Amino acid sequence: MLPAARLEEAVRRGRVALAHPATRQLIRYAVAGLAVTQFAALIYSLFAMQGVSPFLANAFSTSVALVAGYAVHSRWSFRGGDKDSEGLQIGRFLSAALLAFTVNSFWIWLTVELLGLSPLAPVPLMMMVTPLMSFLLNRYWVFRAA
């Protein structure tokens, strides 16, 4: 296939992918989630660098991120999903966040406690692996994508 034809095919595939609601939600989730995750990671890092227990730093950064995350994801990332009661959505969101918190705590245990690495070692896992799991939970359970 000629380079121009490959480019045309790539553009066509991109348009098809962007036409799917899940792709648009993933992009919005990535943009908003990256901002919220970076904010939480910054808070975690600041506390950890001050000698605060990594677990306590994780608890505090997660609490701050919960408020910001629910606001942005319910109003922007997953807009147009099922219109369950806000109380039900908040309950499911908190459950999904508790699971993410548990996963992040596991990353801390694994890297800091078990492997003896720096308190900053779990940050890449917190910023890449946990958000993917959270997207799937938010899309298909919390905000129930159409």
Structural domain contains residue 125: yes
Structural domain contains residue 12: no
pLDDT, tens digit, 9 for 90 and up, residues 57-75: 989 998 898 888 998 988 8
- Quote the number of domains for the chain: 1
Let me know: does 97 contact 69? Beta carbons within 8 Å: yes
What is the extent of the structural domain holding 32? 22-142
* Band of residue 87 on the pLDDT scale cut at 50, 70, 90: confident
Structural domain contains residue 43: yes
- pLDDT above 60: residue 146: no
Structural domain contains residue 6: no
Rounded-to-integer distance, Cα 24 and Cα 139, Å: 12
Q: Is the dihedral of CA 129, 45, 63, 115 positive or negative?
A: positive
* Band of residue 37 on the pLDDT scale cut at 50, 70, 90: confident
pLDDT given for residue 50 in this prediction = 95
Instruction: Give the residue-averaged pLDDT of 37-44.
Output: 90
Structural domain contains residue 4: no
Structural domain contains residue 57: yes
* DSSP single-letter state for residue 122: T
Structural domain contains residue 126: yes
Q: What angle do CA 116, 120, 121 make, to 5 degrees?
A: 55
- pLDDT above 90: residue 107: yes
Structural domain contains residue 2: no
